[in-house]
Amino acid sequence: MRRDERGIEGLPLRLLIVALLISLTLPAMLSVLDGTTAGMAERKAAEVAEDIARTVEGMAAAGPGNVRVVDVPVDLPPNVVLYIGGGNGTAASARIAWSAGGDEGARYLREVCVLSGDNAPVRLTPGDQMRLECPPGQWGVVTVAKL
């Protein structure tokens, strides 16, 4: 068998070209991946906020005496935070807001006011539970407390 060393001469150049291609494409690929996951987190947060909003609006329409315990899904990305409730007459009492890694959004409630105990929005993260209650004698009002 002959020893052919011609192939070994071009190997460093080929390795350099491969390393250069990887170093140029890797940041672009990571950026696309990061943008995709961030968009998915915001969509998931918006879906959860919509589900909670429908629950709150349904409770308010049904009237006083309704009590429900609502779970924030555990499968939400860890950087998602939901805010619900506030003081009477404040903008926070009429919306469910979310933050997903820098992206923010809100779902405004129709004909319902969500009140929290300390007049500040209740901060909810994945896996949290909240208690929603329609107080006796008050229509269109739901109180929220984090469990």
pLDDT of 53-95, one tens digit each? 888 888 888 888 888 898 888 888 888 889 988 877 787 888 8
Q: Which two tokens stand for residue 102?
A: 């820098």
pLDDT confidence tier of residue 35, bands split at 50, 70 and 90: low
pTM above the 0.85 mark?
no
Q: What's the CA gap between 122 and 86, in Å, rounded?
A: 7
Lateral strand order in the sheet of 122-124: 103-108, 95-100, 80-84, 122-124
Q: What's the CA gap between 110 and 28, in Å, rounded?
A: 43
